[in-house]
Amino acid sequence: MVFLNLRDLPAKGKERWQNFSQAQKIATVLISVSVVVVLFYISTFLLQPTYAPLFKNLEVQEAGKVVENLKALNIDYQVTDQGRTIMVPEKDVYDLRMQMASNDVLPGTGQGLELFGGSSMAKTDFENQVLYQRALQEELRRSITALSEVEQARVHLVLPQRSVFIDEEGAASASVVLQLAPMGKLQPSQVKGISNLLMGSVESISPENIHIIDTHGNVLNDYLNPGTDNTGLASTAIEQRQKLKKNIEKAYEQKLKQALTRIFGPGRVVAMVAADLDYTKMQTTRTDILEGQIVSEQKESSSGSSTGDGGPAGTTSQMPGSSYPSGGGGSGEYNDESSTVNYENGKEVTVIEQQPGAINRISTSVIVDSNVEGVDRQAVQQVVAGAIGYEPQRGDEIIVQTMPFNTSDQDAFAAQQDQLAEQEQQKQLYNMIGIGAGILILLLLILILFIRSRRKVKQQPAPAPPMPSTEPEQDTKEETSRQVAATRDRNDELKDMAQQNPEEVAQVLKLWLKE
């Protein structure tokens, strides 16, 4: 048995290194570097545990309690997002959450009706009232966070103090702060459901005393009031007008954006529409008389003649002793006709009602990025006019301008995406390097084993020469003659084959020559 002396290793290694050829030295260095790279890759990427969020969006006090418990449990952790997120190994996330819950350190939670689990006879009415308020707030929080769109919630209640010595008690109120899940959005019916939950859980609370907001400060129930309908839309006239105006302007802007984006590309154009609406409700009644049928018709006619003597006009001729001669007599005829027709006339009544929301005037402004080349304002104006139904007689206005767009946010986002892509490429490159180094080491090991096996084959002793035969010389001559005869027979066969199939023989000879 051979024992290895560790003290002789450096000297033997140096001696072997000096005996290496240049190619062997280069191969040794490459193998050493590859081994180091593979070990680094394994230690960095494969042996490092994958971390997952244990809790997110923590307060400072909550994060401190969680970290203390993790230290006591000797668990590796990472603090990110400015101390608001705590990361732990992914395989331990659920176990640690249950452990935190058992230790009453689960952030964002509190005790509900469990506060009344222990009996205490020394509590005052005020303390019981405070405990009841805390328990009710926690129970409401649990119910609200049951919604999939709500990630976390806080409920604040103001409950009036009851007393026989107070004539008028104050009104109860509730304030709810919601932290929505990423890409989460509450529908109006869901917000109304939260409001109804509060009205059903808190005694004598009215809808106007309920305030629901999100973590961005947006009021979610500003349209909920006693006058709302089943759809959750506002019923006041002002809110309806504002909603109608906003919807009309948004529809025109969306239409312009779809048309102009195809021409100039996304992010190259901005369209704004201002609509002047007529909210007057008017009713006009007009009555037209129509020609009717004849109900009755009456006709009358009269005719006659007259005769008589007489003198000249005056009284002188009638006086006694008058010397004027008397006038001659005369006669006459007359005809008189009249007609009366009665009609039953009809009438047509037209009632015209003008509903609120008629468009009085539309003003449109379109801004195109000045970096876009070849912008024809006249053509853009014609496109806009066709999209909005431009009517000059009602005073519509279209303004088209080119201005440089501020793309700093987009550039920053693009740079961030490029950086992430570069990091991902570097990670993939490291993976490829590690895999390539592993394959290279494997190939080098196979090559080394192959070279060593070849050396061993070369170093094996040559086979011993055959021992001289002790048979008589006659046997040797007979064997030689038999070999010569066999060779001649083969040659004859080859000649016959060449004569019978010369082309195939020529093809075989060509292949041999090529080899």
Among 193-207, 314-328, 333-347, which range has the highest average pLDDT? 193-207
Tokens standing for 509? 């000879």
The total domain count for the chain is: 3
Mean pLDDT value across residues 109-137: 70
Do 81 and 120 sit in the same domain of this protein? no
Q: What b-and-e string marks burial along 462-482, b requiring 16 or more CB atoms within 10 Å of the CB?
A: eeeeeeeeeeeeeeeeeeeee
Nearest to 144 by CA among 51, 210, 100: 210
Residues 142 and 222 occupy one common structural domain:
yes
Percentage of the residues of the chain whose pLDDT score is greater than 90: 3
How does the average pLDDT of the chain come out, rounded? 76
Point out the domain boundary residue: 378, 406, 434. 406
> Residues 37, 95: one domain?
yes
Q: Is the same domain home to 81 and 182?
A: no
Q: Is residue 332 part of a domain?
A: no
Residue 493 lies in a domain: no
Phi, psi dihedrals of residue 336, rounded to the nearest 5°: -135, 125
Q: Is position 484 within any domain?
A: no
Say if residues 347 and 363 touch (Cβ distance below 8 Å): no
Q: Looking at residue 28, which CATH number applies to its domain?
A: 3.30.70.1530
CATH code: domain of residue 278? 3.30.300
Residue 321 lies in a domain: no
498 assigned to some structural domain: no
In whole angstroms, give the CA distance from residue 284 to residue 120: 77
- 406, 425, 449 - which closes a domain: 406
Please check whether residues 237 and 357 belong to one and the same domain.
Answer: yes
- Exposed / middle / buried, residue 384 (Cβ in 10 Å: 0-12, 13-18, 19+): buried
Say if residue 196 is in the same domain as residue 184.
yes
- Are 221 and 353 found together in one domain? no
pTM exceeds 0.75: no
Q: Per the domain annotation, does 79 fall within a domain? A: yes
Mean pLDDT of 45-71: 79
Query: 191 and 81, same structural domain?
Result: no
Position 428 scores a pLDDT of 80
Identify the CA nearest to 294 among candidates 340, 263, 227. 340
- pLDDT per position as a tens digit, 412-447: 777 878 888 888 888 788 777 777 777 877 787 777
In angstroms, rounded to a whole number, what is the distance separating the alpha carbons of residues 151 and 179?
A: 6
pLDDT, greater one: 154 or 170: 154
Q: Kindly report each contact of residues 317-323 with a partner whose C-beta sits within 8 Å and lies 24 or more positions away, as own/partner.
A: none
Same domain, 96 and 123: no
Tokens of 436: 């390539």
CB 174 within 8 A of CB 224: no
Same domain, 250 and 200: no
**In one letter, which amino acid is 166?**
I
Q: pLDDT at position 325, please?
A: 52
Residue 354 located in a structural domain: yes
Q: What CATH number should be reported for the domain holding residue 210?
A: 3.30.300.30
In a domain, 468, yes or no: no
Residue corresponding to tokens 């180094």: 437
Question: Do 267 and 362 share a structural domain?
Answer: yes
Q: Where are the beta strands (DSSP E) in 65-171?
A: 78-80, 85-89, 150-158
Q: Are 63 and 86 in contact (CB under 8 A)?
A: yes
Nearest alpha-carbon partner for 172 in 157, 192, 162: 157
* Choice among 105-114, 139-148, 247-256 with the minimum mean pLDDT: 105-114
* End-of-domain residue from the set 211, 230, 249: 230
What digits encode the pLDDT tens for the residues 56-67?
A: 777 777 788 888
Domain of 250 in residue numbering reads as 231-290+346-406
pLDDT score at 366: 92
Q: Are 356 and 207 within one domain?
A: no
